Structure 1
Amino acid sequence: MIVEGRVVIITGAGRGIGRAHALAFAREGAHVVVNDVGAALDGSGSSAGPAQQVVDEIEALGGKAVANTDDVADWAGAERLVTTALERFGRLDVLVNNAGFLRDRMLVNMAEDEWDAVVRVHLKGHFAPLRHAAAYWRGEAKAGRVPDARVINTSSGAGLLGSVGQGNYSAAKAGIAGLTLVAAAEFARYGVTVNAIAPAARTRMTEPTFDMAAPDAGFDAMAPENVPPLVVWLGSRESAAVTGRVFEVDGGRVSLAQGWRHGPVVDKGARWEPAELGPVVGRLLAEAAEPEPVYGSG
C-alpha cells in the first residue's frame, strides 16, 4: 500500500499502459481519476466506455475511482480534469501524463494536420494538465500546506533517440523530456517532483510498429503491467528526493537515461573563421562518444 490514500490522475487510462497504471495505483491504495477520451488509435471519435470500464474494475477490487472523459489537450478540459480530482477526493497528489496516439509517416510524406495532431495531444496534452495541477499545488504551498506531490510524464525511446517514420511523435516526446526538466526545476519550491518514463510495452499503439507478440509461456517482457511498478513508486512519498530524471522501463529492466550533456570543447578565445572550423569539428567528433542510432535507421 505504498500510495495509500493518495489521489492520482492518470490520463489516457482507458487502455494499455494507462489502464495498467490505474489498476496498479488502485491496488496500492490510491484513489484514481481515470481519464480517457475514448478515441480510436488515430485520435478520432470518443467514448466514455473505456474510462468507465477501468473505474468498474477498480471498484470491483474495492478501490475508489472516478471517470473523466475530457480532452487533456484542451485548456478548459484539462482544468476540468484537475477539478474532478478536487471535487471528488478533496485533493490531488499525483499526475501521471500518459495520453497519446500515433499518426506515423515519413517526414517527406507527412501532412500538416498529422504533425499538429500528434504534437497537440502528446506535448500540449502534457502541458495543460501539468499547468492546472501546478496552479493548485502552488496555491496549497502559499497557504502553508506544502504538497508532497508528484508528476510522472511519458516520453519514449523515440523522443530520446529518434525513430524513423515517427518524426512528429519523436519531436513531441523529446519535447516532453525537456518539459520535464524545466518543470522539475520550477516546481521544486512548491513541494512537487517531476520525472518521466520512456516505456516499451505491447499496446495498440506499438503493435502495428513492432513485433511484440506475447510468449506462449514464461515472463511476458512486453506486458503493459511491467511498466506501472516504477510509476507507482515515483508517485509515492518515498521518491521525494528524485526529480528531473527520465527512466527507461521495459520488461524487468529499469535504466536511467542520460540526456544531452556538455561534451568536448575547443575555445580559441576569439571569433572563428569558417575555413578554420573543419579540423576543429573533426577533433570534437573524434573526442566524443558515438551517438546512439536512431530507431529504424539500421
Structure 2
Amino acid sequence: MNPLVTLAGRTVVVTGAGQGIGKAIAELVVELGGNVVGIDLNGETLSAALSPLPAERVLAVQGSVADPALANRAVADAVARFGAVHGLVNNAGIIRPAMIDKMTDTQWQEVIDVHLTGSFYWMRAVGQHMIARAKEGDKSGGSVVNISSDAGRKGSIGQINYAAAKAGMLGMTMTAAREWGRYNLRANSVCFGVVETPMTEVVRGEKFRDAMLAQIPLGRWSTPEEVVRVVCFLLSDASSYVTGQHLGVNGGFHISL
C-alpha cells in the first residue's frame, strides 16, 4: 500500500531550519524520503539541528533570509547537489514587539525584511528555477508553503510589524498560485496558532496563558512535531489540487468560512 504522504525524490528548501518549527520540518521531510536544504542565520544552531540527519540528504546554508544573493546561491547549490528543487517552506521569523505608537523604524523594518521581503526573495529564486524546469518539460511540479500566522488574519496587539508581514504573506501566496498554476506549481499558506517554540514563550507565560487558552477550542498549545505534518502534506502530491489556500492549524483559535 502506497503511503498517502511521501516526499521521496523531492528536495525542499526550509528557511529558519535551525530550531523549532523549521527543525521539525527538516526532520520530517527527511523521514518522508526527501532532501533538505536548511537555511539559518545561526550556523552553529543549524549544524546542531541537521547533523543527526543523513549527511547525503542534507545541505546546510548559513546566512540571512533577507539577502537576495543568498537565496539565489542556495538554490544553485541545491540544484548542483540534488539535481532540482521541488519545494520551499518560508518559515524563518523574528519578533520585535512594541505598541504602534512606540515602535521604532528599526523594529518595523527588521520584521518586514525577514518575514515579508525575505519570503519574496526565496519565492522568486525557487520560482525561477521551478518555472525553468517546467518549461523544459519537467512535469513533476513544485510546492511553496508560506508559514503565516493567525496574527495576519486577526491582528496582534503589540505586533503591528509581525501582523502586517504575515498578512502580506497571504497575498504573496495567492498571487503565486495564480501566476504559477499553469506550470503545475502550487503555493499555500499555513496559519499557526500558538506553537511551543522559543518565539512564543511570552504568550505562553503566566501573564497571558489562561486568556489565550480560553480562546482555543482544543484547549492546548500545539507542538512543532504536530503542526509540521500539515506542511509536509502541502509539499507532497497528496495535496496536488490544493493551491492558493490559507490553512489554519491552530486548535480552532481562528475559525472562518
- Tell me if both proteins adopt one fold, taking TM over 0.5 as the criterion: yes
- Aligned counterpart in structure 1 of residue 112 of structure 2, from 92, 107, 119: 119
Q: Which residue of 1 aligns with 2:248?
A: 248
Distance change (3 Å), C-alpha of 1:66 and 1:147: same
User: Which protein is bigger by CA-based radius of gyration?
Assistant: 1
Q: Counterparts of 2:221 and 2:108 in 1: how far apart (Å)?
A: 31
CA contact (8 A) 1:70 1:81 kept: no
Contact 2:130/2:141 (8 A) holds in 1: no
For 1:188 and 1:177, the matched residues in 2 are separated by 16
Q: Secondary structure at the match of 1:205?
A: helix
TM-aligned CA deviation for residue 174 of structure 1: 0.3
1:20 lines up with 2:24 in the alignment: yes
Counterpart AA for 2:36: V
Greater shift in the superposed pair: 103-112 or 133-142: 133-142
The Cα offsets for residues 13-65 of structure 1, whole Å up to 9 and x where unpaired, read as: 10011111111111111111111111xxxxxxxxx111111221212xx8711
Alignment check: 8 A CA contact 1:158 1:173 kept: yes
Q: What residue is the counterpart of 2:48 in the other structure? A: 53
Residue ranges of structure 1 left out of the alignment (5+ in a row): 39-47, 214-218, 259-298
Task: Indicate if the aligned counterparts of 1:8 and 1:93 stay in contact, CA closer than 8 A.
Answer: yes
The CA RMSD measured in Å over matched residues stands at: 2.1
Cα 1:242–1:222 change in 2 (3 A) is same
Q: From the superposition, tell whether residues 144 and 247 of structure 1 become closer, same or farther in structure 2 (CA, over 3 Å).
A: same
Provide the secondary structure at the position in 1 that maps to 2:53.
helix
| Cα deviation, residue 222, structure 1 | 2.4
**Aligned partners of 1:123, 1:173: CA distance in 2, in Å?**
7
Q: CA deviation at 1:146?
A: 3.1
Q: Is the 8 A contact 1:148 1:240 kept in 2?
A: no
Where do residues 97-116 of structure 1 align in structure 2 (5 Å cutoff)?
Answer: 97-116=90-109
- Conserved in 2, the CA contact under 8 Å of 1:11 and 1:34? yes
Q: Measure how far apart 1:226 and its partner are.
A: 0.9
Letter aligned with residue 175 of structure 1: G
Give CA deviations for 1:192-226 in whole Å, capped at 9, x if unaligned.
0000001130111111233479xxxxx97421111
Matched with 2:61 is 68
Alpha-carbon distance between aligned partners in 2 of 1:225 and 1:254, rounded to the nearest angstrom = 19
Following TM superposition, by how much is the alpha carbon of 1:81 offset from its aligned partner in structure 2, in angstroms? 1.8
1:202 is matched with 196
Matched AA of 2:128: A
CA drift of 1:80 comes to 1.3
Aligned to 2:225: 225
Paired with 1:36 and 1:210, the residues of 2 have a C-alpha distance of 25
Higher RCO (CA 8 Å, separation ≥ 6 residues):
2
TM-score (normalised: structure 2): 0.88
What is the match of residue 85 of structure 1? 78
Q: Give the secondary-structure state (helix, strand or coil) at the position aligned to 1:32.
A: strand
Aligned residues: 241
By how many angstroms is 1:85 displaced?
A: 1.4
Which letter maps to 2:234? Answer: L
CA distance in 2, matches of 1:184, 1:226: 26
Q: Indicate conservation of the 8 Å contact 2:12/2:85, yes or no.
A: yes
Summarize the Cα distance change of 1:232–1:114 in structure 2 as closer, same or farther, 3 Å threshold: same
Query: Partner letter of residue 228 of structure 2?
Result: P
> What is the SS of the residue equivalent to 1:165?
coil
What secondary structure is seen at the aligned counterpart in 1 of 2:66?
A: coil
What does 1:145-164 correspond to in 2, within 5 Å?
A: 145-164=138-157
Structure 1 residues 256 and 30 mapped into 2: Cα distance closer, same or farther (>3 Å)?
Answer: farther
Amino acid aligned to 1:75? P
- Please name the residue that 1:129 is paired with: 122
1:176 aligned partner: 169
The one-letter amino acid of 1:131's match is R
Q: Which one-letter code corresponds to 1:237 in the other structure?
A: D
Report percent identity of matched pairs.
37
1:84, distance to aligned residue in structure 2 (A): 2.3
What's the TM-score, normalizing by structure 1?
0.76
Aligned residue type for 2:17 = A
Q: Which amino acid aligns with 1:83?
A: A
Aligned partner of 2:37 in structure 1 is 33
